[in-house]
């Protein structure tokens, strides 16, 4: 999903050499990913700071994003879909690069075909004809590339503006911004337009999923804990990491200490 940071990234002006330097620094950061403390339900050593950031993000949502999303939600369904389509299309070259880095040639090929189809007959990506041809977006990012390369998830983080993340995904976010192929092959106007479209997409998606987001942020007793649980479970599902690392038998785990959905047998636990 595009983030505010991505839309703000024109401020990150740097030469290619500087980018590589930043990459090397990041590689060092990833190598230092925080290991989970044994027995803890979540690997969240920065919880106190994370909760402060969460409060900031939630305040921002209340003041800005949620009201804007309500405008979208009030419009007839699909009104703002072209914004999402246009922004998604411009994110495809980056996904192709990540697919190749992961050795996922099928995914990279599908995303390449999508980009070609939607950029041409899809009127610069405003229409998503590719999906009608069965070419669905093979969503990926550099966080996934790191996961494929064997980098551990690291500690849970809530980042300002971006929201829930992990040490591994935070590095992935930055690399995706620094290595966006559009910056190298697109005209400057394309890059600027892409940032604007991504900011628009965030607003539109906040509106489309308003009930879900509202229920997590405003209807739950501890929105920080719910956000963390939701993000980690969904992200592990996306990355095919349903069972946490180090679990030998995913079906024979203490349900109190596990977030593996397949490990939960309430009947067994309740009869103990």
Given the rule CB under 8 A, which residues bind other proteins? 77-78, 81, 136-137, 208, 211, 215, 220-222, 225-226, 229-230, 233-238, 242, 251, 256, 259, 261-262, 264-267, 269-270
Cβ distance to other proteins smaller for residue 193 or 226: 226
Strands, DSSP E only, in 102-172?
A: 156-159, 163-166
Nearest to 201 by CA among 67, 61, 11, 1: 1
Residue with tokens 């999402």: 84
Tell me how far, at minimum, the Cβ of 131 lies from other proteins, in Å: 8
- The span from the CA of 67 to the CA of 114, in Å, is 33
Tell me how far, at minimum, the Cβ of 240 lies from other proteins, in Å: 10
**8-state DSSP, 159:** E
Is residue 87 within 8 Å of 194, Cβ to Cβ? yes
Cβ distance to other proteins smaller for residue 247 or 259: 259
- The span from the CA of 43 to the CA of 29, in Å, is 17
Cβ distance to other proteins smaller for residue 120 or 219: 219
- The residues, any chain, with a CB within 8 Å of residue 208's CB and separated by 6 or more, are 72, 73
Cβ distance to other proteins smaller for residue 128 or 183: 128
Tell me how far, at minimum, the Cβ of 176 lies from other proteins, in Å: 20
Tell me how far, at minimum, the Cβ of 25 lies from other proteins, in Å: 32
Nearest to 232 by CA among 40, 31, 6: 40
Tell me how far, at minimum, the Cβ of 242 lies from other proteins, in Å: 7
Cβ distance to other proteins smaller for residue 59 or 261: 261
Cβ distance to other proteins smaller for residue 136 or 218: 136
- The span from the CA of 266 to the CA of 153, in Å, is 28
- The span from the CA of 201 to the CA of 82, in Å, is 9
DSSP 4-70: HHHHHGGG----HHHHHHHHHHHHHHHHTPPPPPTT-SS--TTHHHHHHHHHHHHHHIIIIIHHHHH
Tell me how far, at minimum, the Cβ of 127 lies from other proteins, in Å: 14
Tell me how far, at minimum, the Cβ of 215 lies from other proteins, in Å: 8
Cβ distance to other proteins smaller for residue 178 or 213: 213
């Amino acid at each position: 999903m595009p983030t505010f940071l991505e839309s703000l990234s024109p401020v990150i002006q740097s030469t290619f050499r500087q980018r590589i330097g930043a990459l090397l620094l990041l590689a060092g950061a990833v190598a230092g990913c925080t290991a989970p403390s044994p027995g803890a339900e979540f690997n969240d050593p920065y919880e106190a700071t994370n909760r402060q950031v969460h409060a900031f993000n939630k305040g921002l949502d209340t003041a800005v994003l949620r009201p804007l999303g309500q405008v979208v939600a009030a419009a007839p369904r699909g009104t703002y879909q072209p914004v999402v389509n246009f922004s998604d299309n411009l994110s495809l070259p980056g996904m192709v690069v990540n697919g190749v880095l992961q050795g996922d040639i099928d995914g990279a090929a599908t995303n390449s075909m999508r980009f070609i189809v939607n950029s041409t007959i899809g009127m610069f990506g405003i229409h998503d004809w590719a999906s009608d041809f069965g070419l669905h977006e093979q969503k990926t990012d550099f966080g996934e590339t790191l996961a494929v390369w064997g980098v551990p998830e690291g500690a849970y983080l809530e980042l300002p503006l971006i929201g829930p993340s992990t040490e591994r995904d935070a590095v992935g976010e930055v690399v995706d911004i620094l290595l966006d192929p559009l910056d190298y092959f697109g005209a400057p106007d394309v890059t600027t337009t892409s940032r604007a479209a991504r900011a628009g997409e965030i607003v539109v998606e906040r509106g489309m999923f308003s009930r879900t987001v509202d229920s997590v942020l405003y209807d739950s007793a501890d929105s920080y804990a719910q956000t963390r649980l939701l993000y980690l479970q969904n992200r592990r599902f996306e990355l095919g990491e349903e069972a946490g690392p180090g679990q030998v038998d995913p079906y024979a785990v203490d349900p109190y200490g596990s977030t593996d959905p397949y490990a939960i047998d309430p009947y067994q636990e309740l009869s103990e």
